[in-house]
Amino acid sequence: MQQVAFCDDFLWGCATASYQVEGAIKEDGRKPSIWDTFSKQEGAVLNGDDGAVAADQYHLYKQDVKLMSKLGFQAYRFSISWPRVIPDGVGEVNIPGLQYYIELSKELKLNNIKVVATLYHWDLPQSLQDKGGWANRDTSYAFAAYAKTCFTYLGEYVDQWITLNEPYCSAYLGYLQGIHAPGIKDLGQANKAVHHLNLAHGLAVAEYRKIGLSQPIGITLNPILPRPATRRDEDRKASEYARAFETDVFLLPLLGKGYPSLVTKDLGISYPVVDGDMDCIAQEIDFFGINYYQESAVSYDDTADRKYKNEPVWQPVTNMEWPVTPYGLLRILHYFDTVSNGMALYITENGCASDDVVENGRVHDLFRCQYLNKHLAICKQAIDESVNLKGYFVWSFIDNFEWAWGYSKRFGIVYDDYASQQRIPKDSAYLMRDVIAGYCEF
């Protein structure tokens, strides 16, 4: 086996999110989130699944941490559930809910695993949605207060903070396409959500700096940079429109570059910006998290709302029907490296769903192993090409509630037999173990 492809200080982790793995939705004072509500709506989630039990990590975290440690993981990226910590979204802090994250963090530390906490991975308290959710500016202030609570109580345990996970999905899947909670289809609300999510991030970072914590803090985006389907200028332009609307409206404000003119001028979209907002959003952060799964191809379409449309692609697809396109990751890493002037980057999610079956106590998920190997090779290439890539978190540690797809899609490197909650490391778990130990096979 080829030895040592990555340097010693590269951070190897695995990732999950609260609503996807915790379960225990009614315990210790937690109140409903928008995903509890959404999953009850007829037809919203495949097979009527919900996160009520999920991987039951709320009860099984010790066992999970032990397994992470056995596999050699150096960091665990989980998310904190806002409706556990402040069940009504604003106001009273629920200490028993916070206690869970203290215990989880302590367990990780005991096992020498770094604590990487995401403040928001889509489980907005339902009471805030009742007042408009992310379309309402007050939600940004509520988020800042919630973030401050987490910094205060958990600051001594957390090694790395992530404010938001994929604001793209919160704004566009939740308020434009309506396929995620809260299930709204309204461009006006989606654009408000974009700005209020950006603002929420900025306000939270401001709170962090005020408190004086010094661990790195950043944000995770899921950059979408489709390639032009042909060499025609208009298709190149289409890919710029897509990047502007899907990625740059989040990325550029964070870098102090404002909203992209392709969106504000050409597409005529406006954001509810109040004096001072753009400076607040552009505060200094320490790293970007990048979640990457796939790349698409687009062509120009004058009749389309945003001037581009997706074209068919040829690559083999994962169980989500997502094409396997590792070079898309290389393009994204270089784009971020260039626009951010070499800021530290982490892959905070990468992985795939596949049809996993247990055979004689093992899960031979060769497709996932190949997928991971290809993307890891790209990470190595990016580093060799001087991209400041500092770590890689596989999505996901364990099979879980895959949002609108419920439990039908398995993304874990550990198999969850939901009926018994038995954990079975898949072959990809052993692949990651070897890679972390310094033995790569790509």
Instruction: Tell whether 121 is in a known binding site.
Output: yes
Of the candidates 34, 214, 201, the residue with the CA atom closest to the CA atom of residue 129: 34
CA distance 173 to 44: 12
∠ Cα 434 438 442 (to 5°) = 75
Which residue's CB atom is positioned nearest to ligand GCO? Answer: 291
- Interface map 169-198 toward ligand GCO (x if CB under 6 A): x-----------------------------
State in angstroms the smallest separation of the CB of 221 from ligand GCO.
10
Q: What is the bridge-based pairing of β-strands 389-395 and 75-79?
A: unpaired
**Separation in Å, CA 194 to CA 55, 167, 244, 269:** 31, 7, 13, 11
In the list 123, 349, 399, 416, the residue contacting ligand GCO (rule: CB under 6 A) is: 349
- Per CB under 6 A, which of residues 19..58 are in contact with ligand GCO? 20
User: What x/- string results for residues 275 through 294 when contact with ligand GCO is judged by CB under 6 A?
Assistant: ----------------x---
Compute the CA torsion angle 282, 286, 288, 289 (nearest 10 deg).
-130
Q: Minimum distance between the CB of residue 121 and ligand GCO, rounded to whole angstroms?
A: 6
Tell me whether strands 414-417 and 422-425 are parallel, antiparallel or unpaired.
antiparallel
- Inter-helix orientation angle 57-71/427-437, to 10°: 50
165 binds ligand GCO (CB under 6 A): yes
Catalytic annotation, pick one of 166, 207, 240, 295: 166
Q: Does 222 bind ligand GCO (CB under 6 A)?
A: yes
- Tell me if 240 is assigned to a ligand binding site: no
Least CB distance from residue 60 to ligand GCO, whole Å? 19
Does 134 count as an annotated binding residue?
no
Told to judge if 295 belongs to the known catalytic residues of this protein, a careful annotator would answer no
The label of the residue with tokens 């004072």 reads 29
Using CB under 6 A as the binding rule, whether residue 440 contacts ligand GCO is answered as no
Residue 168 within binding range of ligand GCO, rule CB under 6 A: no
Q: Is 405 known to sit in a ligand binding site?
A: no
Among 17, 194, 249, 389, binds ligand GCO (CB under 6 A): 17
Residues belonging to the chain: 442
Rg (CA), the chain: 21
Give least dist CB 222 to ligand GCO, A. Answer: 5
Residue 117 contacts ligand GCO per CB under 6 A: no
Q: How far is the CB of 17 from ligand GCO (least distance, A)?
A: 5
Stretch that binds ligand GCO, among 4-12, 163-171, 262-270, 333-341 (CB under 6 A): 163-171
CA 416 to chain centroid:
21
Binding positions for ligand GCO, 376-405, rule CB under 6 A? 395, 402
Is there a catalytic annotation at residue 166? Answer: yes
Strand bridging mode 389-395 / 344-350 = parallel
Smaller CB distance to ligand GCO: residue 17 or 113? 17
Choose the catalytic residue: 22, 240, 295, 349.
Answer: 349
Span near ligand GCO by CB under 6 A; candidates 57-65, 165-173, 228-236, 248-256: 165-173
* Amino acid at position 189, single letter: Q
- Per DSSP (E only), the strands in 225-339 are 227-228, 287-292, 297-300, 308-311
Say whether 422 counts as a known binding-site residue. Answer: no
User: Distance between the two ends of the chain, CA-based, in angstroms?
Assistant: 9
Toward ligand GCO, which CB reaches closer, 166 or 235?
Answer: 166
Listed in sequence order, the residues at least 6 apart from 217 whose beta carbon sits closer than 8 Å to its beta carbon are: 160, 161, 162, 163, 205, 208, 285, 286
Strand order in the sheet with 227-228: 227-228, 297-300, 308-311
Annotated binding site: 20, 121, 165, 293, 395, 402-403
Residues with catalytic annotation? 166, 349
Residues in contact with ligand GCO by the rule CB under 6 A: 17, 20, 165-166, 169, 222, 291, 349, 395, 402, 411
- Residues that constitute the known binding site for substrate: 20, 121, 165, 293, 395, 402-403
